[in-house]
Amino acid sequence: MSNVEFINKLKEYEDSAWQAVVEEHYKGLLLFCGRFVKDESDAYAIVHDTYIKAKKNINSFNSEKYSSFRPWLWQIAKNIAINFINSSNKEKRRLINPPLSESLTTQLYLKIADTKPGPRTNVNMKAMYLDLYKALENIKPIFREIVMLRYSDKLSRKEIAEFLDISENTVKSRLRLALGKLRKSLPKDSLI
């Protein structure tokens, strides 16, 4: 089914199409929203509100701005999360990063390392994980966001460009700079 056909099914409020959206995006959205709020139940609430708002506003989906449904959905989630943070009566929250999964850490390691991990690396995976997590926390949010959208949320460069409303070349450039900054911010005695 093409993207246009899928969007049309969503606009017709077909339950099967909306169920497919939930099944495909729920886990990713939950991790994405978890970067904005500290409380897991708040992240669940934001995801829930995202689906409600998406369904309510599906007719405003702009296929000229978004080549696929995913960046539009992520943008709704981001806006709801930011509104939640700004209007929360709870203790002021700051944007946070989720704990990195082992597969994401390995993926990033392979991207910024010059060589593939060997036996020594496999033994020291935990040390690499900690070094990489600290390095991610120390780079500017604009670069951290690009890295997380690409490697954690698995958005394509085109989807990231649509989501951030920047050109695809800017995404490539920021991603290259972010990976370079990660290399530089890793400890000298790091595995990389």
Domains, the chain: 3-87 (1.10.1740.10), 102-185 (1.10.10.10)
93 vs 45, 83, 84, 118, CA distance in Å? Answer: 16, 12, 10, 40
Hunting for tokens 């999360």 — which residue is that? 81
Burial 157-183, CB ≥16 within 10 A → b, else e? bebbbbbbeeeeeebeebbeebbebbe
> What pTM value is reported for the model?
0.58
144 vs 63, 90, 117, 179, 180, CA distance in Å? Answer: 28, 26, 23, 9, 12
Enter the tokens of residue 13.
């409020």
In this predicted structure, what is the pLDDT of residue 60? 87
Q: What is the pLDDT of residues 57-115, one digit of tens each?
A: 988 888 778 778 888 899 999 999 888 887 764 444 344 444 445 454 455 555 555 44
pLDDT band for position 125 (50/70/90)? Answer: low
In this predicted structure, what is the pLDDT of residue 123? 47
Enter the tokens of residue 58.
């599906």
Q: Are 77 and 50 in contact (CB under 8 A)?
A: yes
In this predicted structure, what is the pLDDT of residue 97? 43
* Interatomic CA distance for residues 119 and 191, integer angstroms: 12
Q: What is the pLDDT of residues 130-178, one digit of tens each?
A: 777 778 778 888 888 888 888 877 889 998 998 888 999 999 999 999 9
Q: What is the pLDDT of residues 16-57, one digit of tens each?
A: 888 888 888 888 888 888 877 767 888 889 999 999 999 899
